[in-house]
Structure 1
Amino acid sequence: MQLSAHSHPVGSSAVDRAYTHVAEAIISGELAASALITEGDVAASLGLSRTPVREAFLALESVGLLRLFPKKGAIVTAVDDTETAELLQVRILLETKAVQLLGERPSQIDAVDAELTALIQTQTDAAAAGDLLAYARADHRFHARIVDETHNSVIDGIYARLGPRLERLVHRVAARDPDSIDRLIAEHRLLAEHLRVGDTVAYDHALRAHLESGHRLPRML
């Protein structure tokens, strides 16, 4: 499988370059579910040795984007309705708890709100530019910023590992239904407003509706 090159930050390590290259191809759908890729393919695309690519593959397997088969290569994992529902249920559980905890620290709400407002703008700009990878990344950062308010390093680690799969879900929705993008961004603004005024009950209801409608799933939890 020949992959197109992606840009990478100056100074990024070879492992980071390989990881980002493959992760973006999977999140964007350039590499479809069940596609087979090899260390040699990626190494040749990026002009790297196979060692950093092997490390990147292991990291991608740890976040659920690849399944490795020794001496054969790696298969891109599939996304089905069960996994989608399970991922979003975890998001609801962690995010609603974070909002509850933030409500107990009202002095921090303004700072969080400012960051969420900036992320909504980033998402809006990315959508206007047709950059669905940046749009999906900003979507995840919006929700992750709220989860950060648990101030729990274990939860932060769990949510970080879910990030690439959640970004893939968001990208898939945007690519399949571009008309939904403006509505989903507006729903982020509504979530931020509920957070700003400390209405945790309204936030909970709005979050569930946001995820259920965005991913066309039955009522969750």
Structure 2
Amino acid sequence: MLAPPAAAEVAYRHVKDDLLAGRLPAGEMLSEGDVAAALGISRTPVREAFLRLAADGWLRLFPRRGALVVPVAPGEAEAVVDARLLLEGSAVRTVVASPEVRAVLVGTLRDLVDRQRGALDAGDLELYAQHDAAFHQQIVAAGGNPVLAEFAATLRERQRRMIALSVGAAGERAPGFVADHEHLVAAIERGDADAFAAALRTHLHDAHLHGGDLHGVDPQRAAGGAAR
């Protein structure tokens, strides 16, 4: 059997991965017993994992009721979108100044677009979301600014959850997001940073601000209705 620290880490990663992948929607109540049974461990390491996830802001704990999946906070999606516009827009203005860097980035992004389309054809929205996140991460990385790249990494988990929620809320819209990515690649290939910025703004607003309810249910209401 796993030692307590190892078991707590397994429980933490298991629940967090489900949260970020959108498999645990906002307002879902989790119980220590259910998670422990699913993983074949005791409740104590699950309790430790819940405490960590609550400290990270992903769960809210209610004594004798369980742990509530915290929805995306009001204003969080808008703040993340604004940060991404600044990061990616700055990176592309640097990229378009170098034909060599631009050509490499365009090739990388086209490959990721193909991978996104393949994931959709296979009906794998989680894999699609991973390729979507990689698409935008590659743009920031190509800018060559390690400080901005590090900041972008801090947004990665928030981005992953937002992508999963926006796709999950309206999976039929995902092909349109892939088409948006094609337009973004075309703007980079042309060296048109202004067109890229305008297309990116529309894309991110459609995907994350108008793509469904990311906030979910009221936490207090959900907790009040949960089984004890």
- How would you bin the TM-score normalised by the shorter chain? 0.7 to 0.9
User: Post-superposition shift, 1:202?
Assistant: 0.5
Match of 2:102 in 1: 109
Higher relative contact order structure (alpha carbons within 8 Å, sequence separation ≥ 6): 2
Gaps of 5+ in 1: 1-12
**1:133-172 alignment, distance < 5 Å:** 133-172=126-165
> 2:119 & 2:8 partners in 1: Cα distance?
26
Match of 1:58 in 2: 52
**1:34-53 alignment, distance < 5 Å:** 34-37=27-30, 41-48=34-41
Match of 2:222 in 1: none
Counterpart among 11, 17, 21 of residue 24 in structure 1: 17
Counterpart among 178, 188, 205 of residue 185 in structure 1: 178
Report the AA paired with residue 46 of structure 1: L
User: Post-superposition shift, 1:193?
Assistant: 1.1
Report the AA paired with residue 113 of structure 2: I
Q: Which moved more, 1:14-23 or 1:172-181?
A: 14-23
Q: How many residues align?
A: 204
Report the AA paired with residue 95 of structure 1: E
> 2:177 & 2:196 partners in 1: Cα distance?
15
Counterpart among 185, 191, 194 of residue 198 in structure 1: 191
User: Does the CA contact (< 8 Å) of 2:102 and 2:189 recur in 1?
Assistant: yes
Q: Percent identity?
A: 33
Match of 2:82 in 1: 89
Aligned-residue CA RMSD in angstroms?
3.0
Match of 1:175 in 2: 168
SS at match of 1:179: helix
Q: Which moved more, 1:208-217 or 1:14-23?
A: 14-23
> 2:36 & 2:146 partners in 1: Cα distance?
34
Whether 2:204 is the aligned partner of 1:211: answer yes
CA 1:122 to 1:20, structure 2 compared with 1: closer, same or farther past 3 Å?
farther
Report the AA paired with residue 100 of structure 1: R
